Amino acid sequence: MILHSYVNSSFVNGPGNRFVIWTQGCTKGCKNCYNPETWNKNGFEYTAKHLFNLISIAQVDGLTISGGDPLEQPDELLKLLKLVKKLNLKKGVILFTGYTLNEINEISGNTKKCLDYIDLLIDGRYEEKQRLTHGLRGSENQNYYFFSDVLKKEEIEFDHSIEIGNVNGKIYITGFPVLINLNKYGLKYENPRNIK
């Protein structure tokens, strides 16, 4: 599986202490995407077994998989999800994708099978004009689909926040920034990437 990055402990990417994976590669091209650096295919390659081992030793409550678009690598993703199922994570597996559930159901192969191994799907492309500042959805058009009772809707409807940390000597920022709060400090948010 080609990854952009991962963190072995996060409290802002879903309920509980979560291992978070960002896959590399996405063809959707959503305007002002949170992670445009994940669009290309240039990332770090990990086997499903290696990722599973990292998740196992992290002793986390759950796993969040984002991107990029994880479902653009369905074969490797399915291998990982089957392994992670053995961990019986008490806060489950959350999967973000730019595909809608209807699109997933129309794709043949392992894409649809991945849904059998997750607890929450957050689907749909990011729409900047429908941006949200609470919960795990980036924009209002995206949907939550619960495939188990491990997670409750009230657990994922929280205020946006970020974490700053260090993994293997590299500083990272993760979460959902509350851009609206910058105004009270006299700062103006501008997208530094100028995504068109």
pLDDT digits (tens, 9 = 90+) for 160-182: 566 776 666 766 667 665 544 44
What b/e readout covers 168-196, taking b as 16+ CB neighbours within 10 angstroms? eeeebebbbeeeeeeeeeeeeeeeeeeee
Distance CA 62, CA 87 (A): 9
Write out pLDDT tens, residues 105-137: 999 889 999 999 999 999 998 888 888 776 777
For residue 132, the model assigns a pLDDT of 79
For residue 106, the model assigns a pLDDT of 94
Indicate the length of the chain as a whole number: 196
**Averaged pLDDT of the chain:** 85
pTM for the predicted model, two decimal places? 0.83
Distance CA 125, CA 142 (A): 7
Distance CA 18, CA 16 (A): 6
- 8 A C-beta contact, residue 13 and residue 64: yes
At a CB cut-off of 8 Å and minimum separation 6, what does 156 contact? Answer: 14, 15, 94, 120, 135, 136, 144
What interhelical angle do 74-85 and 48-58 show, nearest 10?
40
- Structural tokens at position 107: 């794709």
In which residue are the tokens 């530094």 written?
192
